């Protein structure tokens, strides 16, 4: 549970920070999705321009990551908790209202089945994916930040809601546990006072300890029985190696942690980006650690919208809304609506 001494205004700022962080990571990362690597100097100019005082439309549009995050938040608010039919209905309606948001190649078949069966069994279509193995994509993880907010006072409820929300589209253990790791990371950030610097070692040890309870209960179809703990240990190793060094080994980060649409090779990467960006990074003339988190996430290439969105949610939940540049927000679609959602989530989670 969040520290009792944390004031309501700080908590409200953290709620807004988490959701606006997720939104901005998605909007700003989306133009680079699929690029192998993104030059740090190109990104420096890209962010400098967006932060400049002269606003020029058009918006950076959000993608499936934000569309589904909004559905999760709105379902929790309107149902007063997790309701599988309401959540599934919102995913389907949102997809058919605006299908051109860059959804995952296979997840759309779930929306089709849910619609054609009139939501008869909301769990079945996801179970059938990939010949019954279920999706291991990061589409579950990219949308879970509202669950960490809604359940911030009840860790076990958060784990329960997160697992169920994910299983509506992703039933592979790697897809589900990736979503749990992302949700736990946002929750840990929320709990930490923005005035106390992040202790990277403690933050990652806490994640390892919580993920060990989760991984001991599940058996993924991969060689290791503890794939997320293995990745988190790599996060620790890479932080030790790169923090304070004259040059980050980004190739090693991408080769070992990954930058793909698989949850196992993107969620730990997002955690790494957040932790690494707590201190300066060479070739990034950035004082603001929230901006540095997004800029660094995108520089790694690959699934840039999703990794930046997940890292942005973790970072925004720690630093709060005040750390997020107002000019950049004006370039991103859907900020006002997301702020309303953050405020509503805050109200319902306090009751
Ligand atoms: N889809 C994209 N990006 C592609 C390019 C979009 C382009 N910019 C555009 O605008 O069109 N991005 C979004 O998808 C990712 C989340 O995907 P999600 O929701 O997990 O989808 P899905 O279909 O379940 O899985 C994605 C792919 O992973 C592979 N896969 C998953 N499970 C598998 C399994 N058990 N066996 C084999 N392969 C498996 C498949 O290739 C799936 O298609 C985010 O990046 C979001 O931004
Ligand atoms: Mg996307
Ligand atoms: Mg993506």
Give the closest residue (by CA) to ligand 1 atom 28: 137
Banded pLDDT at 2 (limits 50, 70, 90): low
Rg of the chain in Å (alpha carbons): 19
Separation between Cα atoms, residue 243 and residue 55, nearest integer Å: 35
Burial class (CB in 10 A: 0-12, 13-18, 19+), 80: exposed
- pLDDT reading at 214 higher than 90: yes
| pTM of the entire predicted model | 0.97
CB-based contact 169:140 (threshold 8 Å): yes
Listed in sequence order, the residues at least 6 apart from 70 whose beta carbon sits closer than 8 Å to its beta carbon are 94, 334, 337, 338, 341
Question: What spacing in Å lies between the alpha carbon of 66 and ligand 3's midpoint?
Answer: 10
Mean pLDDT of 128-141: 97
Ligand 1 neighbour 293 (Cβ under 6 A): no
Give the closest residue (by CA) to ligand 1 atom 10: 102
Angle 173-191/267-276 helices, nearest 10 degrees?
20
Ligand 1 neighbour 221 (Cβ under 6 A): no
Q: From the CA of 33, give the closest atom in ligand 1.
A: 8
CA dihedral (91, 94, 97, 103) positive or negative: negative
Mean pLDDT of 179-208: 98
Question: What spacing in Å lies between the alpha carbon of 195 and ligand 3's midpoint?
Answer: 32
pLDDT of amino acid 244: 80
Mean pLDDT of 273-296: 96
Pick the CATH number of 10-193+200-216+224-349 from 3.30.1360.120, 1.10.730.10, 3.30.2270.10, 1.10.4080.10: 1.10.4080.10
What is the tens place of the pLDDT at every residue in 154-167?
A: 999 999 999 999 99
> So where are the chain's domains?
10-193+200-216+224-349
Ligand 1 neighbour 304 (Cβ under 6 A): no
Question: What spacing in Å lies between the alpha carbon of 45 and ligand 2's midpoint?
Answer: 23
Separation between Cα atoms, residue 279 and residue 276, nearest integer Å: 6
- Substitution candidate for ligand 1 out of 22, 34, 139, 227 with most atoms within 8 A of CB: 139
Helices (H), 258-322: 267-276, 289-299, 304-319
Taking Cα atoms as reference points, which of 147, 130, 227 lies closest to residue 182? 147
- Substitution candidate for ligand 1 out of 98, 104, 175, 221 with most atoms within 8 A of CB: 104
Work out the angle at residue 325's Cα, subtended by the Cα atoms of residues 196 and 335, and round it to the nearest 5 degrees. Answer: 110
160 assigned ligand-binding residue: no
In the three-class reduction of DSSP (H, G, I as helix; E, B as strand; rest coil), residue 60 is classed as strand
pLDDT of amino acid 222: 79
Helices (H), the chain: 8-29, 40-51, 64-79, 84-97, 107-116, 124-128, 145-150, 155-167, 173-191, 200-215, 227-242, 250-257, 267-276, 289-299, 304-319, 326-330, 335-350
Question: What spacing in Å lies between the alpha carbon of 196 and ligand 3's midpoint?
Answer: 31
Q: From the CA of 108, give the closest atom in ligand 1.
A: 23
Listed in sequence order, the residues at least 6 apart from 87 whose beta carbon sits closer than 8 Å to its beta carbon are 71, 72, 75, 79, 165, 168
Question: What spacing in Å lies between the alpha carbon of 199 and ligand 1's midpoint?
Answer: 33
Give the closest residue (by CA) to ligand 1 atom 21: 104
- pLDDT reading at 4 higher than 70: no
Ligand 1 neighbour 107 (Cβ under 6 A): yes
Cα distances from 328 to residues 31, 50, 105, 310, in angstroms, run 15, 5, 30, 18
Query: Token pair for residue 146?
Result: 């509202």
Q: From the CA of 63, give the closest atom in ligand 1.
A: 47
Question: What spacing in Å lies between the alpha carbon of 63 and ligand 2's midpoint?
Answer: 5
Q: Residue 137 forms beta bridges with which residues? A: 262
Banded pLDDT at 3 (limits 50, 70, 90): low
Query: Token pair for residue 116?
Result: 């054609």
Banded pLDDT at 219 (limits 50, 70, 90): confident
DSSP assigned state of 141: G
Residue for token digits 């690029």? 35
What is the tens place of the pLDDT at every residue in 29-44?
A: 999 999 999 999 999 9
Q: Please state, rounded to an integer, the average pLDDT across all residues of the chain.
A: 95
What is the tens place of the pLDDT at every residue in 38-89?
A: 999 999 999 999 999 887 765 899 999 999 999 999 999 999 999 999 999 9
pLDDT of amino acid 91: 98
What is the tens place of the pLDDT at every residue in 238-264?
A: 999 998 888 889 999 999 999 999 999
246 assigned ligand-binding residue: no
Which ligand is nearest to the Cα of residue 106, counting in written order? 1
Ligand 1 neighbour 138 (Cβ under 6 A): yes
Give the closest residue (by CA) to ligand 1 atom 36: 130
């Amino acid at each position: 549970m969040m520290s009792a001494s944390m004031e309501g205004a700080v908590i409200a700022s953290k709620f807004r920070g988490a959701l606006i962080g997720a939104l901005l990571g998605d909007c700003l990362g989306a133009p680079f999705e699929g690029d192998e690597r993104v030059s740090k100097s190109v990104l420096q100019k890209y962010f400098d321009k967006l932060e400049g005082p002269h606003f020029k439309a058009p918006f950076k549009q959000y993608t499936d990551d934000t569309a589904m995050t909004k559905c999760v938040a709105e379902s929790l608010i309107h149902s007063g908790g997790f309701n599988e039919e309401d959540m599934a209905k919102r995913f389907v309606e949102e997809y058919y209202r605006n299908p051109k948001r860059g959804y995952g190649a296979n997840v759309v078949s779930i929306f089709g089945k849910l619609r054609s069966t009139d939501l008869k069994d909301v769990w079945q279509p996801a179970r059938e994916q990939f010949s019954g193995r279920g999706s291991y994509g990061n589409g579950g993880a990219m949308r879970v930040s509202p669950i960490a907010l809604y359940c911030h006072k009840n860790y076990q409820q958060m784990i329960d809601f997160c697992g169920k929300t994910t299983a509506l589209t992703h039933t592979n253990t790697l897809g589900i546990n990736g979503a749990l790791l992302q949700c736990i990371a946002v929750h840990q950030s929320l709990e930490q006072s923005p005035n106390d610097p992040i202790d990277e070692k403690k933050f990652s040890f806490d994640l390892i300890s919580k993920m060990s309870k989760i991984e001991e209960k599940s058996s993924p179809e991969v060689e290791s029985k503890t794939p997320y703990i293995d990745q988190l240990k790599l996060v620790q190793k890479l932080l030790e190696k790169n923090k304070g060094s004259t040059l980050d080994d980004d190739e090693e980060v991408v080769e070992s942690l990954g930058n793909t649409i698989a949850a196992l090779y993107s969620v730990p990467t997002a955690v790494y980006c957040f932790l690494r960006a707590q201190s300066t990074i060479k070739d990034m003339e950035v004082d603001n650690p929230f901006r540095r988190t997004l800029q660094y996430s995108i520089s790694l290439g690959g699934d840039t919208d999703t990794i930046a969105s997940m890292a942005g949610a973790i970072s925004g939940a720690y630093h709060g809304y005040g750390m997020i540049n107002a000019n950049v927000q004006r370039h991103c679609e859907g900020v006002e609506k997301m702020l309303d959602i953050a405020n509503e989530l805050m109200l319902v989670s306090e009751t």
